[in-house]
Structure 1
Amino acid sequence: MTLRTSSAPTGLRPAEIARSLAAAPQDWVRRVRLSTEERWYERLHEGDDHEIWLISWMPGQSTGFHDHGGSRGAFAVALGCLQEHDLSVSRSLSAGEYREFGPSYIHEVGNVTNAPAVSVHVYSPPLTTMNRYDLTDGGLVRLAEERADQW
């Protein structure tokens, strides 16, 4: 199997990489695992300027509110449907749709359907930390910081 990730042209936006890979399941579908215990994920590529993750989502699985530790990024839904919430809006994303975000973006993503979903995520620069948050009546409360060596 050939996964075309490292040959992405320099200067390509994370959204373009995510959309391109999401539209080419023949390059990665054999890698996907479905786990009812927790979201499954695999890093497909790590370079100096970006990294790419493949994530599968079973019904009910969610990230909780989090940021990307100063990295900008994008994710594209490859199969199924995902729900994204930020502090101002909730949106449903189906296969072929994507979201792009800047370095201070906080959101949560989850599968609220009754079928599995798969998404491709691209971060630039590669993630070093992520902060987890709880949404309270008073706003977001930072719960924890995760480091890349914990994934």
Structure 2
Amino acid sequence: MQHEARYFESFELGQERKTLGRTITETDFVVHAGHSGDFFPHHMDDEFCKTQPFGQRIAHGTMTFAIGVGLTATVINPHAMTYGYERLRFPKPVFIGDTIHTEIEITKVTDDLKRPGFGQVVESCSVKNQNNETVLFCEHILLVKKQGTQ
């Protein structure tokens, strides 16, 4: 993990980065079901899933989100904090054995009208599998301190 103190003014539209990959395991499914209480058969019942359109268990959307966003947490910026996420979608399923990574692009940089010492930076996050198919998309909104503010 690296530290990178960046103020609002240093973010530019179009900046991109890509995370390392992470292979999804059956243990991920079981642990996430235990943490979330979501034991829905689409995630946990292999025999039931054989009768469904995908033919196998599919990852919890919340797990895909948690892991996909977690992969982006490689830089600590003491001047930024998460404000929220918008436009969360799961266009394709994630299966046991898939390897996912996240691609991030700065798509909006704007003043925060409610907080004069901050701006908003929007990172479009695309989580992709080993076939480069998007399995999750969301916009991550950051509040970032402006230079010269306390």
Bigger strand fraction: 1
Q: Which structure would you say has the larger Rg?
A: 2
Q: TM-score range by the shorter chain?
A: under 0.3
Q: TM-score, normalised by structure 1?
A: 0.22
Question: Larger relative CO (CA 8 A, sep 6+): 1 or 2?
Answer: 2
Q: TM-score, normalised by structure 2?
A: 0.22
